């Protein structure tokens, strides 16, 4: 099996649109849209490759860049190891020098294009936030619980997991979802009686045990699916099942489960490196840990009281 190492670049214009390019007839996966870039040649570094490729393909000169993520994808006849770079600053106006069609596209409109398989995980990684709040799992309708929920809606939280160990009234859930929509916050259900057909949510979050009982993704592709995992094997299974992201835990010792042995930062970093989909770190995390998490390639941190 041939292994190809390649790099691509993320270019944004002042409107926040992304630049994508259409693969030509002579290329593998012709007709599909992708981020601009190409194969690493000889002894090039990834940074040298992306600078050369974007100059050859688009006529621009990179001034500053940063690694966004790495991923691998297995096609039927080859494996592609991909490094994705944010192009933070460049000179010139991008044009399709090699005759390729290019387009500036809003993130929410990317789904209208026939994208390479690697683009799905990339889109999730740039649209999901770096903080994932999990609600307390009991006393949902008491004043303090509701006050905390409303407080999060007024903060910088944009992704919430509604966690409950008991059945919740559908009207109550619908009311919470309506509040979330008013604040541009996505609400995922992690309830004991979820059917994956509920309308009053933006997706679902499932436990490890629920994931292990499934053989395929239980919900539509236009909904988010998160999975709780505790090791690399579980995280890989969640990815293979079609999860949009995973939460790996516990990273550090927690007050709620002091006897649980944490997996540590090294194991968490290994999960990030082996997965293509976003990974949140959970367990003993606080805002002080966010920067380290991001530097290791994690999507961000998750928690009930982390922020």
CATH code (residue 67): 3.90.79.10
**Are 55 and 138 part of one and the same domain?**
no
Among candidate residues 96, 116, 136, the one where a domain is terminated: 116
Task: Say yes or no: 100 and 224 in one domain.
Answer: no
Q: Kindly report the number of other CB atoms within 10 A of residue 39's CB atom.
A: 12
Specify the pLDDT at position 120.
80
Query: Do 112 and 132 share a domain, yes or no?
Result: no
Does residue 7 lie within any of the structural domains?
yes
Q: Is residue 141 part of a domain?
A: yes
Beta-bridge partners for 303: 133
Pair 296, 233 in one domain: yes
CATH number for the domain harbouring residue 214: 3.20.20.70
Per-residue model confidence as pLDDT tens digits over 93-148: 999 999 999 999 999 899 899 998 888 888 888 889 999 999 999 999 899 999 99
The answer to the question of residue 62 being in a domain is yes
- pLDDT higher than threshold 90 for residue 68: no
d(CA 182, CA 251): 33
> Over 90: is that where the pLDDT of 212 sits?
yes
121 inside domain: no
My answer on whether 291 and 157 are in the same domain is yes
- Return the exposure string of 148-177: e unless at least 16 CB atoms fall within 10 Å of the residue's CB, then b: ebeebbeeebbbbbbbbeeebeeeebeebb
In a domain? residue 266: yes
Task: Answer yes or no: are the C-beta atoms of 102 and 94 closer than 8 Å.
Answer: yes
pLDDT tens figures, 157-201: 999 999 999 999 999 999 999 999 999 999 999 999 999 999 999
User: Given this model, what pLDDT does residue 286 score?
Assistant: 94
Q: How many domains does the chain have?
A: 2
Report pLDDT for 42: 85
Report d(CA 252, CA 81) in Å as an integer.
30
pTM: 0.84
- 74 and 26 within one domain: yes
pLDDT reported for residue 189: 98
Answer whether residue 246 shows pLDDT above 80. yes
Task: Find out whether 274 and 232 touch, Cβ atoms under 8 Å.
Answer: yes
Domain extent at residue 10: 2-116
How high is the pLDDT of residue 29? 86
Tell me the pLDDT tens digit for each residue of 6-65: 999 999 999 999 999 999 998 888 999 999 999 998 889 999 999 999 999 999 999 999
Asked whether residue 55 falls in the same domain as residue 201, the answer is no
Question: 23 and 110 in one domain?
Answer: yes
Compute how many other C-beta atoms are within 10 angstroms of the C-beta atom of residue 5. 16
Instruction: Report the pLDDT averaged over residues 236-251.
Output: 96
Residues 144 and 259 in one domain: yes
How far apart CA 148 and CA 135 sit, in angstroms, is 9
Instruction: Identify the three-state secondary structure at position 165.
Output: coil
- Domain C-terminal end among 55, 85, 116: 116
73 and 166 together in one domain: no
| Cα–Cα distance, 48 to 16 (Å, whole number) | 25
Is residue 106 located within the same domain as residue 159?
A: no
The span from the CA of 301 to the CA of 153, in Å, is 17
> Per the domain annotation, does 123 fall within a domain?
no
Q: Is residue 256 pLDDT above 80, yes or no? A: no
**Angle, vertex CA 189, rays to CA 184 and CA 195, nearest 5:** 130
pLDDT of 258 over the 80 cut: no
């Amino acid at each position: 099996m041939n292994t190809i190492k390649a790099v691509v670049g993320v270019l944004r214009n002042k409107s926040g649109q992304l630049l994508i390019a259409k693969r030509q007839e002579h290329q593998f996966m012709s007709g599909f849209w992708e981020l601009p870039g190409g194969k690493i040649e000889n002894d090039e570094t990834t940074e040298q490759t992306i600078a050369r490729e974007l100059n050859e393909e688009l006529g621009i000169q990179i001034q500053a860049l940063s690694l966004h993520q790495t991923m691998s994808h297995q096609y039927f006849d080859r494996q592609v190891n991909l490094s994705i770079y944010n192009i933070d600053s460049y000179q010139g106006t991008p044009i399709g020098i090699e005759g390729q069609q290019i387009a500036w596209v809003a993130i929410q409109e990317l789904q209208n294009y026939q994208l390479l398989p690697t683009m799905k995980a990339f889109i999730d990684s740039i649209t999901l936030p770096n903080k994932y709040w999990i609600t307390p799992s009991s006393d949902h309708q008491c004043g303090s619980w509701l006050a905390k929920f409303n407080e999060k809606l007024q903060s910088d939280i944009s992704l919430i997991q509604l966690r409950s160990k008991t059945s919740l009234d559908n009207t109550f859930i619908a009311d919470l979802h309506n509040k979330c929509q008013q604040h541009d916050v996505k609400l995922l259900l992690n309830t004991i009686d979820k059917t994956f057909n509920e309308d009053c949510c933006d997706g679902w979050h499932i436990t490890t045990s629920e994931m292990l009982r499934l053989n395929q993704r239980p919900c539509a592709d236009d909904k988010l699916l998160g999975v709780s995992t505790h090791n690399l094997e579980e995280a890989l299974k969640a990815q293979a099942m079609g999860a949009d992201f995973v939460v790996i835990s516990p990273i550090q010792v927690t007050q709620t489960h002091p006897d649980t042995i944490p997996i540590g930062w090294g194991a968490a970093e290994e999960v990030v490196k082996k997965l293509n989909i976003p990974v949140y770190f959970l367990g003993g995390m606080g805002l002080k840990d966010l920067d380290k998490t991001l530097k290791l390639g994690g999507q961000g941190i998750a928690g009930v009281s982390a922020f």
